[in-house]
Amino acid sequence: MSKSFLEVDGLSKVYPDGQGGDLTVFEDVRFALEKGEFVCIIGHSGCGKSTILNVLAGLDEASSGNVVMNGKEVKGPGLERGVVFQNYSLLPWKTSLNNIVFAVKARWPKWSKDKVREHSERYLKMVGLDHALNRKPSQLSGGMRQRVSIARAFATQPELLLLDEPFGALDALTRGVIQDELVKIWEETRQTVFMITHDVDEAILLSDRIFLMSNGPNARIAESVKVNLPHPRSRATIFQNPAHHKIRDYLVDFLVNRSGSAQPEEDGSPIVIDPSAGDAAPKPVPAKPDTKTETAARAVNA
Ligand SMILES: Nc1ncnc2c1ncn2[C@@H]1O[C@H](COP(=O)(O)OP(=O)(O)OP(=O)(O)O)[C@@H](O)[C@H]1O
C-alpha cells in the first residue's frame, strides 16, 4: 500500500489532572495528508488542536503514537516544517524584507545575496506588501505583520506549513483581506498546509478537507469533510455555489449538535463525508444543550 506524505498514527496526549490522576486530552488521533493538500482542523476549545499541531511541528511530544513525514519519524523541529502562530513572531529590529531574507538565508545558505533578495521580495509582493519592505514591525499594522509572517513561512518553502489560527487576533475586515492573500499564495505555491481555525467560512474557503474533532477530554478526529469546490476560490463568489451551503450547514450542525458524541471509524480513522454529494451525518444524535455552544456560535458568526 502506498504511503501518504504525512502519516499520523495513534496520537494521544495525557497530562496529570492535578489530583493524582491523568487527563487524556485526545486519544488515538490518526490521519494522513497528501502532498499539496490544504487541510483545516476545527473543534471546540480545549480539544487539543494546538497540541496536535505542535506535535507535528516537533515542538511538543505526544504521550503515544507517532508522526511520519516522507517516511521519516518527526522527532523535533526542522526546516522542512514551517509554523505560523496567532501572534506573529517577527524580529523587531529587522525590516519586513529582512525578516524574510533572514529566514531564506538560513534555508538556502549557498544562495547569492541577489537571489535571496529577489526571492524574498517576490513573496512579500504576493501578500501585497512590496510598498512596505523597508518598514520595521513596529511601523506595520497587526494585519501587515501577519502578512509578513505568512510570506516568510511560504518563502522558505517548507514541505509542511502549520498555521495555528493565524488570523485569530485580527479584525474581520483585515482577516478577509489576508484570507484572500493566503488563497492567492497557496494557488501559486500549492504547498501542503495544516491549519487550525475556529471559523467555518475560512475553513471552507481554504481547505480541500476539514477535520472535525470531537470534544475533549478523550477527543478524537471524528470526521474528514471533503470540500468539493473548484479552485481558484474567491471570498466574493464562493457563497454562490450551492455546495458551499451544504458544507457549511454540515459543519455547523457538527459543532452545535454532534461534537459531544461523534466517533471516528472503528479503526480510528476519520469518517469521510462529502456534504456536496448529499452525505448525511453518520450518527445523528438529537440536539442537546451544550456548554460549548458559545465557541460554535463564534465559529458561525465569524
Ligand atoms: N501543560 C499542561 N498541563 C495540563 N494541561 C494542559 C497543559 N497544556 C495544555 N493543557 C490542556 O490540554 C488541552 C488542549 O489544549 P490545546 O491548546 O491543544 O487545545 P485547543 O483545541 O488548541 O484549544 P483552543 O481552541 O482554545 O486554542 C486543554 O484542555 C489544556 O488545558
Residue 194 lies in a domain: yes
What secondary structure, in 3-state letters, does the chain show? CCCCCEEEEEEEEEEECCCCCEEEEEEEEEEEECCCCEEEEECCCCCCHHHHHHHHHCCCCCCEEEEEECCEECCCCCCCEEEECCCCCCCCCCCHHHHHHHHHHHHCCCCCHHHHHHHHHHHHHHCCCHHHCCCCHHHCCHHHHHHHHHHHHHHCCCCEEEEECCCCCCCHHHHHHHHHHHHHHHHHHCCEEEEECCCHHHHHHHCCEEEEECCCCCECEEEEEECCCCCCCCCCCHHHCHHHHHHHHHHHHHHHHHCCCCCCCCCCCCEEECHHHCCCCCCCCCCCCCCCHHHHHHHHHC
* Ligand 1 center–CA 263 separation, angstroms: 20
Same domain, 113 and 205: no
pTM, full prediction: 0.89
**Mutation to probe ligand 1, out of 26, 47, 199 (largest number of atoms < 8 A from CB):** 47
User: Which residue range(s) make up the domain with 153?
Assistant: 86-157
CA-nearest residue, atom 24 of ligand 1: 45
Residue ending a domain, choose from 157, 182, 202: 157
CA-nearest residue, atom 27 of ligand 1: 45
**Mutation to probe ligand 1, out of 50, 163, 200 (largest number of atoms < 8 A from CB):** 50
User: Is omega for the bond preceding 264 within 30 degrees of 0, making it cis?
Assistant: no
Same domain, 26 and 168: yes
Residue 119 lies in a domain: yes
**What cell does 55 get?**
506535535
Same domain, 168 and 228: yes
CA-nearest residue, atom 6 of ligand 1: 15
267: domain CATH number is 3.40.50.300
Question: For ligand 1, which residues put their CB under 6 angstroms from it?
Answer: 15, 25, 43, 45-51, 216
Residue 298 lies in a domain: no
ipTM score of complex: 0.96
Same domain, 184 and 278: yes
Per-residue pLDDT of the chain (302 residues; tens, 9 = 90+): 568 999 999 999 999 988 989 999 999 999 999 999 999 999 999 999 999 999 999 999 999 999 999 999 999 998 899 998 887 689 999 999 999 999 999 999 999 999 999 999 999 988 888 899 999 999 999 888 988 998 898 899 999 999 999 888 788 888 888 888 888 888 888 899 999 999 999 999 999 999 999 998 999 999 999 999 998 898 899 999 999 999 999 999 999 999 999 999 999 999 999 998 877 766 544 444 444 444 444 444 44
- The angle, 0 to 180 degrees and rounded to 10, between the axes of the packed helices 293-301 and 242-253 is 160
